[in-house]
Amino acid sequence: MNYKEALGVTIRRYRQRLGLSQEELARRAGLHRTYIGSIERGERNITLVNIIRLAQGLEVDSVRLFEEMKALKEKVDRQVGSAVSSLV
């Protein structure tokens, strides 16, 4: 899992916990709905400014988003590493 994918999953999880649609998050953050979808799918390089806007729309500190993104990436990378090791 790369960082774009990890950030996308993290943003999606926060959005779903709040019961927000992509459209509502986009409205809150001042972004377009399709942009939110592409971020959640890990397809976009996102600027720091837009990360902060999304964090505000999700009512979470942007540092917390980064911490959770990093933890998710490390967890997935460990799981993949273990799976590969078991095949060898």
Q: Which two tokens stand for residue 34?
A: 């399709």
Query: How confident is residue 84, by pLDDT bands cut at 50, 70 and 90?
Result: confident
∠68-69-75 over CA atoms, to 5°?
A: 85
Across 22-46, average pLDDT:
97
Q: Which two tokens stand for residue 38?
A: 């592409």
Structural contact between residues 40 and 11, judged by C-beta atoms closer than 8 angstroms: yes
Q: What is the CATH number of the domain that holds 83?
A: 1.10.260.40
pLDDT tens profile 47-67: 999 999 999 999 999 999 999
pTM of the full predicted structure?
0.86
Residue 36 domain boundaries: 3-87
Q: Which two tokens stand for residue 75?
A: 């967890």
Calpha distance 67→73 (Å, rounded): 10
User: In the chain, how many domains are there?
Assistant: 1
Query: How confident is residue 80, by pLDDT bands cut at 50, 70 and 90?
Result: confident
